[in-house]
Amino acid sequence: MRVTNWLKSQSLRAGIRTLCVQTSMFVLTIFGLLLVTFMIGRVVPVDPVLVIVGDRAPAEVYARVYAELGLDKPLYQQFLMYLYQVAQGDFGTSVLTSQNVAKDIAAFFPATIELAVTGTLVGVLLGVPLGVWSAVRKNSFLDQCVRVVALIGYSIPIFWLGLVGLLVFYAKLDWVAGVGRIDAAYEYIIERETGFVLLDAMLHGQWDIFRNFLSHLILPGALLGYMSMAYIIRMTRSFMLEQLGQEYVVTARVKGLSERRVVMHAFRNVLAQLITVIALSFAYLLEGAVLTETVFAWPGLGLYITNSLFAADMNAVLAGTTVIGASFVLLNAFSDALGTVFDPRTRSART
């Protein structure tokens, strides 16, 4: 009994220690991200005061705004002020929209999430089965075909695929809607509640808007899904080949287990790694949807950052970069935590 209690206390201490280490690493990573974005905002050749007041503003106006922005203070004080503002959710005012940047991000980020979720779903539903199948049928003709499909998805630039997709499926075949999130006719009649057009249309029974949104979503979502699928196929195939070469697989086959059961057992052992891959794929789609949003004029965070960059709106650019970076860190931490739940080695250690 004492031994059992001692083991439980040791396990609890180890869990608390691991949690503290992971929390500390997360805080340090976010701190580093904020430091990098702050320094980028200070080294870029853009004068934030001139962006606000214009080139012809009097010297006294320039000096007043310069002081109001805290640019007359030492760099470390400016960074502390930046941390304080970010902690309060204040990223400043956007020059482009004349609104609070945090409100802009809350309005634009759901559109990016819609694209990333669609792409991830397509990538997982197609990439995982194809990756497993390709590993099981190693070096077969079908395996070669799957590998070629994944290689093409890795090699072709997404903006080129987007332009070709618009030319073929919209301009020529008229199978999908064009650029934008929804048609302009629906833009001002949709009842926005969650920020996600699909959910808002369903909640309020606006099924014509629902169908119109899907028509706009299919093409960019499928292209991002193709990129995600290519990555997931390669990683799934690699993980499965490693497991199928293990001794326990040989032993299971010698004992007469069916190939289906052998493959399923091997797949369970790669599930923890796949969770990390899927989470990273989702994070990459959040980060890499900028080109897709630009080609399809999709009003997401990527297009918002691009337009802000062209307008020298550094508050919006730095805030968008911070949000994307923080999302990446959160997804990585979440995948690590979830991976320990599905990792058989972790389960056996706990038992």
> Pick from 73, 1, 57, 85: which is nearest to 315 by CA?
85
Predicted confidence at residue 90, as pLDDT, reads: 83
Predicted confidence at residue 350, as pLDDT, reads: 46
- Cβ burial, residue 275 (10 Å; 0-12/13-18/19+): buried
Cα–Cα distance measured from residue 77 to residue 85, given in angstroms and rounded to the nearest whole number: 12
Q: What are phi and psi of 93, to 5 degrees?
A: -105, 140
Predicted confidence at residue 286, as pLDDT, reads: 82
Look at the alpha carbons of 141, 146, 149, 150 in this order and tell me if their dihedral is positive or negative.
negative
pTM of the model: 0.82
List 93's β-bridge partners, or say none: 100
Q: If DSSP codes are grouped into helix, strand and coil, which group holds residue 100?
A: strand
Residue tagged 């923080």 (tokens)? 326
Predicted confidence at residue 126, as pLDDT, reads: 93
Predicted confidence at residue 344, as pLDDT, reads: 54
Q: Under a CB-based contact definition with an 8 Å cutoff, are residues 123 and 228 in contact?
A: yes
Predicted confidence at residue 348, as pLDDT, reads: 47
Cα–Cα distance measured from residue 260 to residue 238, given in angstroms and rounded to the nearest whole number: 19
pLDDT tens digit at each of 351 positions of the chain: 554 554 445 555 655 776 677 778 778 888 888 888 888 777 777 777 777 777 777 888 878 877 877 777 888 888 888 888 888 888 888 877 878 888 889 888 999 999 999 999 999 999 999 999 999 888 888 889 999 988 888 888 888 888 899 999 988 888 888 888 888 888 888 888 888 888 888 888 888 989 999 999 999 999 999 999 999 999 999 999 988 888 888 888 888 778 888 888 888 888 888 888 898 888 888 876 777 888 898 888 888 888 888 877 788 888 888 888 888 888 877 777 776 666 655 554 444
Residue tagged 């980020």 (tokens)? 109
Q: What are phi and psi of 99, to 5 degrees?
A: -120, 170
Residue tagged 């929209």 (tokens)? 97
The number of residues making up the chain comes to 351
